[in-house]
């Protein structure tokens, strides 16, 4: 059962990596990274049970808590860039 | 099957050299830094590969369970190295930022050209 | 119990896979975002539910529950932030039917 | 099973690494680095290194992407497009790869219990930890006491790197001419996005709580000062993203950050001095309590706290140095 689930997760990981490499826009890549993150959380939970050491779920918990910070940082990054562009167009 | 046990080391070799290629062939400094962190990752992988023991589990001792444990020593070395790695990458990034502010470019050959022109 | 957990895991795997295929096959950024984020949430929850059922009432189950709650919160937030960032950069969703002529 | 999982994850790792090197857009490369880190963590986990995987998770998910984006915001985002394959470099690289691969045929197979690395000091660590230190996590025991000198050195390296970044980029209110009050004027942050605002505010306490759990549970499960410091820093980075640079620097002032950086390392070294004053060797925790085992446990607790404080301070200070520079 866990094996089937991890297989599904693996296939999805491959699909996400293809999307991350293919693009075309940068947002597609961010989306793929984010999806890859949740898939990693799932994989870690499944593998923790597969190995019979469920006390290692801390790892999945860590990812679940902090993985979305990088996406927020991406939003911040583009907001900053846009406001910088606005200022430079105002000056000229 | 016997050879598959070496796969980790082959991936280590390839990753090491992919990172190295970025460091020596790319002129963009951020790219060089990313190559360096790939290089770093390859070394981490080599160490962690060595800690694995067949049928073992992570070296957190369970009382009353007769288990085989992996080697803790490489894990300790790499655990600290990861945090050191991100701090040194940040240091490199700071250098690149200052180089950009001084030269207006982060391409290595252009900064060299600007140096020669002076 | 095992049947229920198996059903959850299978359904979760199916949703996860569908999300992955959608991420790859959908034609534009926003449709891909739609496919990925929705199935991600449901598939993840189902899978974690399946594991929780097998874990029984232990510390591991509580941790899994926490993971599920946090993913439920962070997943849509990330999707929101991403859609917003894309919109800010000026890529506008194309609203047209398949039969419509190209604008 | 492990071998199949491993081979799959490792192959993806190589694909992503090549993708990073080939990407022309630096932003894309940074995003792929995120995937690289996730794959690395999964690999470490499959190879039974739970502590290392947690470190990679904490650093890779919360910190490294944010730092790289912070740096990228200050430089042009594209590589010059005139990039073609560098023939000579490629030849050198290919040749070296073949040589390294040739050398691996001498290596013991993955998981071979007779490998030389498992014969030397590792069995002693595994055997003596319950007796001498009596904590379940052998990694923490080796990190804290058996190889305490090494860990102290690493903390100093982290501290020095952080100091270098601060000297290069400045930190408002401490290094450089700018003050915290100059910040934030016209600075765009995520304050006007309601959803991240609410969810972030909701999650920050949990992240900080989880960091404390990782810090103090590190003797019983995966965790310790390095991981906890990175997670704590990630939580504060989230605060800075949703509340704004200035507000975040008011919660933990720049002076406080520098104090944390130095204080953590000093606490670590101070324990060493204390044990010397009590008549033991440097970082010999046996003398800290009546019972040598209890002394060891106290020593590990305190030096892990020092590590956690120092790592939090360094990573947060670096983040603020980059973020404050961009305006």
Q: Could you give the angle at which helices D2-22 and D26-46 cross, rounded to 10 degrees?
A: 170
Query: What ipTM, to 2 d.p.?
Result: 0.92
Q: How far is CA C86 from the centre of its chain?
A: 19
Q: Could you give the angle at which helices D26-46 and A26-50 cross, rounded to 10 degrees?
A: 0
pLDDT tens column, C32-77? 888 888 888 889 999 999 988 888 888 888 889 999 999 998 888 8
CB nearest A75 (choices: C10, C12, C84): C84
Average confidence score pLDDT of chain B? 89
For residue A60, tell me if it sits in a domain.
Answer: yes
Question: Is the Cβ–Cβ distance between D23 and D83 less than 8 Å?
Answer: no
DSSP per residue over D243-304, as a string? H-HHHHHHHS-HHHHHHHHHHHHHHHHHHHHHHHHTTS-TT-GGGGSSSHHHHHHHHHHHHH
pLDDT value of residue D108:
85
pLDDT value of residue C103:
46
Domain membership of residue D227 as a residue range: 121-327
Average confidence score pLDDT of chain D? 87
pLDDT value of residue D312:
94
Judged against a pLDDT cut of 90, whether residue D197 lies above it is answered with: no
pLDDT value of residue B81:
93
* CA distance to partner chain A, nearest, from residue B56 (Å): 10
Same domain, D275 and D290: yes
pLDDT value of residue C94:
67
> How many domains in chain A?
1
Question: Is the Cβ–Cβ distance between D24 and D79 less than 8 Å?
Answer: yes
Number of H-type helices and E-type strands within chain B: 4, 0
Question: Is the Cβ–Cβ distance between D285 and D141 less than 8 Å?
Answer: no
What ranges in D78-147 are assigned the alpha helix state H? 87-104, 122-132, 138-141
Across the interface, whether the CB atoms of A55 and B57 are under 8 A apart is answered no
Backbone angles phi, psi at B57, to 5 degrees: -140, 170
pLDDT value of residue D257:
92
CB < 8 Å from A in window 59-88 of B: 60
DSSP state of B6: G
Judged against a pLDDT cut of 80, whether residue B116 lies above it is answered with: yes
Question: Is the Cβ–Cβ distance between B32 and B23 less than 8 Å?
Answer: yes
Mean local confidence (pLDDT), D244-262: 88
Distance between CA atoms of D268 and D271, rounded to whole angstroms?
Answer: 5
- State which of D119, D134, D159 marks the end of a domain: D119
pLDDT tens column, D140-174? 999 988 888 999 999 999 999 999 999 999 888 88
Same domain, D75 and D133: no
Domain membership of residue A52 as a residue range: 2-65
Same domain, D100 and D111: yes
CB < 8 Å from C in window 57-86 of A: 57-58, 60-61, 64-65, 67-68, 71-72, 74-75, 77-79, 82
Which residues of chain A, if any, have pLDDT below 50?
A: 92
Judged against a pLDDT cut of 60, whether residue B14 lies above it is answered with: yes
For residue A28, what is the enclosing H or E element?
helix A26-50
Chain A neighbors (3+ CB pairs < 8 Å) = B, C, D
CB < 8 Å from B in window 14-73 of A: 51, 53, 55-56
Beta bridge partners of B28: B107
Say which CATH class B3-117 falls into. mainly alpha
Backbone angles phi, psi at B68, to 5 degrees: -90, 135
Across the interface, whether the CB atoms of C81 and D193 are under 8 A apart is answered yes
Q: Which residue of D has its CA nearest to C63?
A: D210
Structural domain boundaries in chain B: 3-117
Mean local confidence (pLDDT), D30-41: 92
* CA distance to partner chain A, nearest, from residue B116 (Å): 32
Widest Cα–Cα separation across chain C: 58
Banded model confidence at residue D99, pLDDT cuts 50, 70, 90:
very high
pLDDT tens column, D227-236? 999 999 999 9
Three-point CA angle D74, D75, D80, nearest 5° = 165
- CATH number of residue D81's parent domain: 1.20.120.1200
Mean local confidence (pLDDT), D66-88: 80
pLDDT tens column, B47-98? 999 888 888 888 888 877 778 888 899 999 999 999 999 999 999 999 999 9
Average confidence score pLDDT of chain C? 84
> How many domains in chain D?
2
Structural domain boundaries in chain C: 2-88
* CA distance to partner chain D, nearest, from residue B112 (Å): 16
- State which of D119, D139, D169 marks the end of a domain: D119
pLDDT value of residue D186:
45
* CA distance to partner chain B, nearest, from residue A90 (Å): 22
CB nearest B2 (choices: D64, D109, D315): D109
Q: Which residue of A has its CA nearest to B55?
A: A51
Same domain, D128 and D99: no
Same domain, D53 and D192: no
pLDDT tens column, D5-24? 888 899 999 999 999 998 88
pLDDT value of residue B21:
92
CB < 8 Å from C in window 4-23 of A: 4-5, 7-9, 11-16, 18-19
Distance between CA atoms of C93 and C100, rounded to whole angstroms?
Answer: 15
Residues for chain A: how many in total? 92
In the structure, do chain B and chain A come into contact, i.e. share 3 or more CB pairs under 8 Å?
yes
For residue A23, tell me if it sits in a domain.
Answer: yes
CB nearest D65 (choices: A73, A75, A81): A73
Distance between CA atoms of B75 and D269, rounded to whole angstroms?
Answer: 23
Judged against a pLDDT cut of 60, whether residue D184 lies above it is answered with: no
pLDDT value of residue C95:
61
- State which of D92, D119, D146 marks the end of a domain: D119
């Amino acid at each position: 059962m866990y094996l089937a689930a991890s297989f599904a997760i693996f296939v999805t990981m491959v699909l996400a990596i293809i999307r991350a490499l293919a693009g075309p826009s940068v947002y597609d890549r961010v989306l793929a990274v984010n999806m890859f993150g949740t898939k990693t959380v799932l994989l870690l939970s499944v593998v923790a049970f597969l190995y019979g050491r469920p006390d290692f779920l801390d790892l999945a918990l860590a990812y679940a808590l902090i993985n979305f910070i990088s996406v927020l940082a991406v939003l911040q990054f583009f907001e900053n860039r846009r406001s910088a562009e606005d200022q430079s167009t105002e000056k000229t | 099957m016997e050879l598959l046990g070496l796969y980790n080391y082959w991936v280590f070799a390839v990753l090491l050299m992919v990172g190295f290629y970025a460091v020596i062939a790319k002129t963009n400094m951020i790219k060089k830094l990313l190559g360096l962190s790939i290089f770093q990752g390859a070394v981490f992988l080599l160490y962690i590969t060595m800690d694995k023991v067949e049928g073992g589990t992570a070296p957190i001792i369970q009382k009353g369970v007769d288990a085989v444990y992996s080697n803790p020593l490489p894990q300790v070395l790499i655990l600290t190295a990861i945090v050191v790695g991100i701090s040194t990458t940040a240091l490199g990034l700071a250098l690149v930022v200052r180089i950009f502010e001084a030269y207006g470019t982060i391409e290595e050959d252009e900064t060299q050209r600007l140096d020669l022109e002076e | 119990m095992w049947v229920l957990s198996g059903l959850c895991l299978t359904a979760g795997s199916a949703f996860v896979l569908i999300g992955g295929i959608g991420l790859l096959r959908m034609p534009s950024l926003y449709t891909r975002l739609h496919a990925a984020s929705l199935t991600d949430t449901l598939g993840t929850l189902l899978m974690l539910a399946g594991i929780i059922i097998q874990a029984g009432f232990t510390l591991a189950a509580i941790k899994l529950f926490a993971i599920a709650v946090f993913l439920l919160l962070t997943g849509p937030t990330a999707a929101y932030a991403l859609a917003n960032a894309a919109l800010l950069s000026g890529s506008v969703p194309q609203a047209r039917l398949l039969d419509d002529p190209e604008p | 099973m492990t071998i199949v999982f491993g081979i799959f994850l490792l192959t993806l790792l190589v694909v992503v690494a090549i993708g990073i090197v080939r990407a022309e857009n630096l932003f894309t490369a940074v995003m792929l680095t995120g995937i690289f880190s996730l794959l690395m963590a999964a690999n470490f986990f499959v190879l039974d290194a739970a502590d290392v995987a947690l470190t990679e998770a904490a650093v890779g998910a919360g910190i490294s992407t944010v730092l790289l984006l912070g740096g990228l915001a200050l430089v042009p985002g594209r590589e010059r497009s005139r990039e073609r394959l560098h023939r000579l470099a490629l030849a050198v690289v290919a040749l070296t790869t073949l040589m390294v691969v040739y050398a691996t045929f001498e290596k013991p197979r993955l998981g071979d219990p007779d490998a030389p690395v498992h014969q030397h000091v590792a069995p002693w660590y595994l055997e003596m930890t319950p007796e001498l230190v009596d904590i379940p996590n052998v990694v923490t025991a080796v990190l804290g006491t058996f190889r305490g000198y090494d860990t102290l050195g690493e903390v100093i390296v982290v501290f020095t790197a952080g100091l270098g970044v601060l000297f290069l980029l400045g930190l408002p209110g401490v290094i450089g001419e700018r003050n915290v009050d100059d910040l934030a004027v016209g600075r765009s942050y995520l304050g006007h996005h309601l959803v991240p605002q609410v969810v972030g505010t909701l999650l920050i306490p949990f992240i900080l709580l989880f960091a404390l759990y990782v810090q103090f549970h590190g003797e019983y499960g995966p965790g310790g000062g390095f991981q906890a410091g990175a997670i704590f820093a990630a939580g504060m980075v989230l605060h800075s993203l949703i509340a704004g640079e200035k507000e975040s620097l008011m919660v933990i002032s720049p002076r406080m950050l520098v104090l944390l950086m130095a204080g953590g390392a000093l606490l670590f070294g101070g324990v060493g001095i204390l044990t010397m004053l009590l008549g033991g060797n440097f970082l010999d925790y046996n003398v800290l309590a009546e019972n040598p085992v209890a002394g060891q446990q106290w020593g590990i607790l305190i030096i892990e706290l020092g590590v956690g404080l120092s790592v939090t301070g360094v990573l947060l200070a670096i983040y603020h140095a980059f973020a404050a520079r961009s305006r």
